[in-house]
């Protein structure tokens, strides 16, 4: 096991940008008002389990259907690119459905807001470039942030305001855009070499 601080920071930032828990504060507050209760600890634990389990078995699932990690990483880079465009341009490309609000802790908070398609794709994309232990640390750091945001979502919204949340979302959108281009170029080269 070799922990690499640079890999941990990069993976943490990528996951933070993709999960976009700060940008999800308005959704979380709306769900909290409608469902009356969101269990922050439970949502965080379920999200962590889904992310870590997928990190370990995601590649095997891909192998069963005949796709390698580099091919998945290229596809993931494209998904990240469109998520970043959503954040930067303020448009909606991916639609989410409203479901039973009594399950708000699990759906949509744990899945798909935290452990959604973008996060799962990102994990396998990161796995193509980073060591496993560094990605796990990045996941745990993000889950701690998710827990704190879920616990303090009302206070954060008052503190940051709509403009503050918008600015943070745009900044992380641009960072995510650059990261998606890097993931795409490095993995596309691997496919053709």
Q: How do residues 67-125 score in pLDDT, each as one tens digit?
A: 887 887 788 788 778 878 888 888 877 655 555 566 777 877 888 789 877 788 889 88
Quote the longest CA-to-CA distance of the chain: 54
What's the confidence (pLDDT) of residue 134?
A: 97
Q: Which residues contact 93 (CB under 8 A, 6 or more apart)?
A: 82, 83, 85, 86
pLDDT of residue 7: 95
**Average pLDDT value for the chain:** 85
Give the residue with greater pLDDT, 139 vs 176: 139
What secondary structure letter does DSSP report for 95?
A: -
Q: What is the pTM of this model?
A: 0.76
Q: How far apart are CA 136 and CA 170, in angstroms?
A: 26
Highest mean pLDDT, choosing among 15-29, 83-97, 125-139, 158-172: 125-139
Q: Mean pLDDT check: name the lowest of 30-34, 111-115, 135-139, 172-176.
A: 30-34
Q: Which helix (H) or strand (E) holds 180?
A: helix 153-192
3-state secondary structure of 122: helix
What is the percentage of the chain residues whose pLDDT exceeds 90? Answer: 32
Average pLDDT over residues 161-172: 83
Instruction: Report pLDDT digits (tens) over 6-26.
Output: 999 999 999 998 898 987 887
Contact of 63 with 125, CB cutoff 8 Å: no
Residue 179: per-residue pLDDT:
79
Binning pLDDT at 50, 70 and 90, where does residue 51 land? very high
Q: Where are the domains of the chain?
A: 39-192
pLDDT number for residue 95? 56
């Amino acid at each position: 096991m070799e922990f690499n601080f640079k890999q941990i920071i990069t993976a943490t930032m990528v996951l933070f940008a993709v999960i976009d828990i700060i940008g999800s504060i308005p959704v979380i507050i709306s769900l909290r008002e409608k469902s009356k209760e969101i269990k922050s600890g439970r949502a965080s634990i379920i999200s962590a389990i889904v992310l870590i389990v997928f990190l370990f078995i995601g590649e095997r699932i891909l192998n069963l259907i005949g796709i390698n990690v580099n091919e998945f990483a290229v596809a993931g880079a494209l998904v990240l690119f469109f998520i970043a465009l959503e954040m930067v341009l303020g448009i909606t490309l991916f639609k989410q459905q409203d479901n039973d609000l009594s399950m708000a802790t699990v759906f949509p908070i744990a899945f798909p807001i935290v452990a959604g398609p973008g996060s799962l794709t990102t994990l396998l994309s990161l796995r193509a470039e980073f060591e496993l232990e560094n990605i796990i640390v990045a996941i745990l750091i993000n889950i701690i942030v998710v827990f704190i945001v879920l616990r303090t979502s009302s206070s954060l919204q008052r503190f940051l305001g709509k403009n503050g949340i918008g600015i943070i979302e745009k900044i992380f959108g641009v960072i995510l855009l650059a990261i998606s281009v890097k993931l795409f170029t490095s993995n596309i080269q691997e496919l053709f070499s």
